[in-house]
Chains A and B, each alone.
Chain A
Amino acid sequence: MTATLTRFLKGAVRPPENDSAFLLDVHRRAVPGRDRMRRYDDSDEVDLVIVGCGAGGGVLAQRLARRGWRIVVIERGPFWDPDEDWVSDEAGSHGLYWTDNRIIGGEDPVELGKNNSGWGVGGSMVHFAGYTPRFHPSDFEVHARDGVGADWPISYWDLKPHFERVERELPVAGEFWPWGDPHGYPHGPHPLGGGAELAAKGAMKCGITMKVGPVAIVNGTFGNRPHCIYRGFCLEGCKVNAKASPLVTHVPDALEHGVEIRADSMASRVETDGSGRCTGVAYIHDGAERLQRAAAVAVAGYSIETPRLLLSSATPDHPHGLGNDEDQVGRYVMVQGAPQVAARFPELARMYKAPPPEISSEDFYETDERRGFVRGFSIQTVAPLPIEWAQHALADGHWGEAMREYGRDYNHWSTLGVLCELLPHADNRVTLADETDRFGLSVARLDYSQSGNDRANIAFAKDKLHEVWEEAGAEETLTIDRYAHLVGGCRMGFSAEDSVVDSDHRVWGVPNLFIADGSVMPTQSAANPALAIMALASRLADRMERIGAGAETRSPVGTSSLS
């Protein structure tokens, strides 16, 4: 559809083959149809078990259910009822995060929990900020262009139709996007809050182009999903159903097409047989271990739990875990360097209003040799609420009376962040620790250290933010170093020696086991990952349909193109 026509039609455009927005209830936020949800027996051999109902798993379930696959999704967290379970409050949202224990190490450890890990039906997108930029074509060939990282076995053009399709389903609102492969969005840009206005002013003076969006937040109405009310609590879960997450964008349609979502269920291992194929998933529900049999399995547990599950599924035939004969599982986990710089202005910005994701720039996205490092970063507005704001003051070394003063001054501040593309390193990895969790399963340990290129990128990006604020007339700044997003850990590649899955997301050596989340990414880009994760899952559905295991034939997956 052309950009003009899409703009004209605005929220009226109904995405093809996904009725989720129309299946929701106007007056209640809970997903209708749960009471009518199809149920399978553990002993039924379903066509597919998916582990994890987040960005990747949710989309894959919806797509294949539409094509008649019989699917069970095993999800560790709750089946949310936003009216009851979510609150308009920071500390009260603790229950939204994956808070089972994990160990962090390395030279530059990555804090987990609320910083990057969700759970429950909808996954981490339930509390994601809402930015949904596309990756650039260059992101798929970083090694060929810059001699670092790895090239993907697929290209931007393989994903492009899926980017477009998912953008219509979320739907994404924003200005025409001039970067990467230029494109428009189905919904127009949202109005700006005070914080973003100030940032836009500074960027303009620095000659930096900033555009409004792209955010997965309804602008107008979309089916039975209402307009955003600018309450600013996107990171606490949207009680309005205005912001996208699989819970509202894909789960309703998946249920309608016969998917069973088994919430409060922890997958403990992927079962394999002597022939090297997987046969189902063992999981713990209500304290008891059960086994769901399936013709194929797709793991979509996010970059820590996906490798953990593969490592935990070791057998005598797979002594190091599934897909791990070449010691690749859990390696090349990536996070983006995401420092933020806040700036003080004489006027009251009240940055808590409007969604935190407002405007962004991809002017610095690709390599520019003059900067002295390869790859780059994007710039985006963010908007810490009071507790997060105190963390900013703390990170800059303030406590006691000074912290209180920054607190009282909160309304004068506005905040910008960057997302720096940090490069994949083999030693940044997930392993199993000696400790066990409440289920008796080994917990994951994530080690993370930055390289010289990573540090140079982060330092340059921080300087840039300071420059923007200086031009905007800021009176003072506060800086916090942090990370955002997790991808990689089971990357796709060209052979079992360099990766965990092939270009069809199929685990090397286990032909009916797939990985359907962000852990397949060989490099991470300087864009937020959720849209790409959904697009990958959408493409994977096409590939899996070709490979086999359709509902009627129930032919074993992968036989057609197995080596």
Chain B
Amino acid sequence: MTPPTTPQGRGRYPGYDVLDQVDHWDEATRRVVLARLDPPPIRFFDEDEARTLAAFCDTVMAQDSEPRIDVLAFVDEKLHEGRLDGFRYHDLPDDRDVWRIVARGLDEAARARDFSTFADALPAERRAICGDFAAGKLEGGAWEELNVSRAWEVVMRAVVQGFYSHPWAWNEMGFGGPAYPRGYAALGAGHKEHWEGDEAS
């Protein structure tokens, strides 16, 4: 048996692999979840955007080494298929445009720090730019085209969906995952199903 995968090998439930349970999931769920292990190629973003935004997704999810969850692939598929969230702030463009503007803005912010693109910036510089983005403090150029704090919310909403919908993230956090048709029997603080993982002490 291959050891369970956690992003960057930083899980807290050693030996626990939610994927060991796939035989207990219903077929519809199994299809949806397993597809995430093999995402389609990038179709929505162009190559430069994809390079910048992949670096962004890794920075904001602290993915600094392999194995990595391909968060951008999730975002790209969502935008490619137009699976938007059902609302738009009056002072923001369509989510798809928000992502493209953010890609441009991140590169501009990197250039202001003397790097040719965001992806080429040093990790600490990338984190600093993301910190400014989170605080709504980026300005000029692309950032004048949208409300920066809200744009952060829009992109992060998709980023955390991409990361925390992946079974490797569930391994990292000890989440039981899909539970139909089996359900859970061991309720109550301190209880676990026999197949759930133990936290590393």
Contact = CB atoms under 8 A, between A and B. Distances in A.
Interface string B29-68: 1001100000000000000000000000001111000000
B192 interface: yes
B106 to A, nearest CB: 14
Contacts of B160: 387, 390-391, 394, 403
Interface of A is mostly: loop
B189 A198 contact: yes
Contact of A408 (B12, B165, B184, B196): B12
B85 A114 contact: yes
A353 B193 CA distance: 10
A559 B105 CA distance: 63
Nearest to A85: B28
Given A347-B189, A403-B62, A99 B183 contact: no
17 contacts: A86-B28, A89-B33, A89-B178, A99-B86, A103-B89, A105-B90, A192-B188, A193-B188, A194-B190, A229-B179, A232-B184, A240-B183, A350-B191, A354-B184, A401-B62, A403-B60, A410-B174
**Best-buried of A85, A100, A194, A354 by chain B (most CB within 10 Å):** A194
A316 interface: no
Interface of B: 7, 10-12, 25-26, 28-29, 32-33, 59-62, 74, 83-91, 127, 130, 134, 156-157, 160-161, 163-165, 169-170, 172-192, 196, 199
A113 B187 contact: no
B183 to A, nearest CB: 3
Interface string A59-100: 000000000000000000000000111111111101001111
B173 A353 contact: no
Nearest to A397: B134
Contacts of A354: 184, 187
A445 B165 CA distance: 30
Contacts of B25: 88
A297 interface: no
A94 B189 contact: no
Interface string A372-409: 00000000000001110111001001011101100111
Contacts of B178: 87-89, 233
B195 to A, nearest CB: 13
A102 interface: yes
Interface of B is mostly: loop
A349 interface: yes
B17 to A, nearest CB: 16
Contacts of B28: 83-87
A411 B199 contact: yes
Contacts of B29: 87-89, 92
Given A113-B85, A391-B157, A400 B62 contact: yes
A293 interface: no
Given A197-B188, A386-B169, 17 more contacts: A88-B25, A88-B179, A101-B84, A104-B90, A111-B85, A113-B87, A117-B86, A231-B180, A231-B182, A231-B184, A232-B179, A239-B181, A386-B170, A387-B160, A394-B156, A404-B61, A411-B173
Contacts of A332: none
A347 B190 contact: yes
A364 interface: no
Interface in A94-149: 94, 97-105, 109, 111-114, 117
Contacts of A98: 86
Interface string A316-359: 00000000000000000000000000000101111011100000
A127 to B, nearest CB: 13
B33 A92 contact: yes
B154 to A, nearest CB: 10
A54 to B, nearest CB: 16
Contacts of A86: 28
Given A89-B32, A90-B165, A232-B184, A348 B86 contact: no
A230 interface: yes
A100 B86 contact: yes
B84 A239 contact: no
A391 B177 CA distance: 18
A153 interface: no
B190 A103 contact: no
B175 A410 contact: yes
Interface in A185-199: 191-195, 197-198
A362 to B, nearest CB: 24
List 10 tightest A-B contacts by C-beta distance, closest first. Answer: A229-B183, A113-B86, A194-B189, A91-B165, A88-B178, A390-B160, A105-B90, A99-B86, A231-B179, A92-B32
Given A194-B188, A198-B189, A353-B184, A386 B175 contact: yes
Contacts of B189: 194-195, 197-198, 345, 347-349
